[in-house]
Amino acid sequence: MIEVHHLNNSRSQRVLWMLEELGTEYTVVRYERDPKTMLAPPELKEIHPLGRSPVIRDGDFVLAESGAILEYLVDRYGGGRFVPPRGTREYETCRYWVHYAEGSLMMQLLVKLYLDRVGEPAKGPLERINAAVRMHLGYVEESLGTSQFLTGPALTVADVQMSFPLEVSVVQGMLGDAHPRLKALLARLHERPAYRAALAKGGAYAYAK
Ligand SMILES: N[C@@H](CCC(=O)N[C@@H](CS)C(=O)NCC(=O)O)C(=O)O
């Protein structure tokens, strides 16, 4: 059975959600962040040398990196669900959003998180990163257009992977009334039974606003 090495309040929540959508059996191995540093406990390094979450173990295969994990899960257990047909433009767009989530949007949000902590001395760089985050969110809002989900009328792995940076954007006060389509998308994602079931399995998650 698949093991998900899951850290509270983390990106790993979307792996549980994906597995609930797939209806694939899994167990959760839980780790708690240090309440002061918010870092993962050292035991996570026993499953993967980087000591970050998520990590899954499927048989003797250990895989880290949330985008790679989600793509692996839909390829292996999806039977064609949660991903557009290969060879189509929608398939490539789906893959684009999976990479964009961590490679572009989340990267900006992490810089913002650290600069926010520095405070006044980082005022200039913080203004620049806020402008960059606003530009990114405006771009995602426009890209969504009138679609129900990021790659069209059905939920795909792209929506699952993008959920975390969008949720972090809400908590950081960057995603709001200027983004009615993204707010509606998040509401649509949050009301899914599989999303709710994953929350019940994962424990503390501060981003499901
Ligand atoms: N790009 C990686 C990032 C993994 C990552 O940094 N995970 C965070 C949780 S959101 C973590 O484990 N943080 C604990 C720490 O840095 O000690 C992914 O998408 O899986």
- What separation in angstroms does the CA of 199 have from each of 17, 86, 115, 192, 206? 8, 31, 29, 11, 10
Residues 145 and 55 in one domain: no
Same domain, 37 and 65: yes
- pLDDT given for residue 203 in this prediction: 87
Taking only the tens place, the pLDDT of each residue in 74-92 is 999 999 999 999 999 999 9
Q: Are residues 96 and 184 in the same domain?
A: yes
Ranges of H-type helices in the chain? 13-22, 66-77, 89-100, 107-118, 123-144, 157-171, 180-190, 193-202
Question: Are 109 and 29 within one domain?
Answer: no
Q: What is the CATH number of the domain that holds 181?
A: 1.20.1050.10
What domain range is 103 assigned to? Answer: 89-192
Ligand 1: atom nearest CA of 40 is 17
pLDDT in tens, 92-103: 999 999 999 999
Specify the number of domains making up the chain: 2
* pTM passes above 0.85: yes
13 Cβ below 6 A of ligand 1: no
C-beta of 66 in contact with ligand 1 (< 6 A): yes
Judge whether 142 lies within some domain: yes
* Positions in the chain short of pLDDT 70: 209
Q: Are residue 93 and residue 158 in the same domain, yes or no?
A: yes
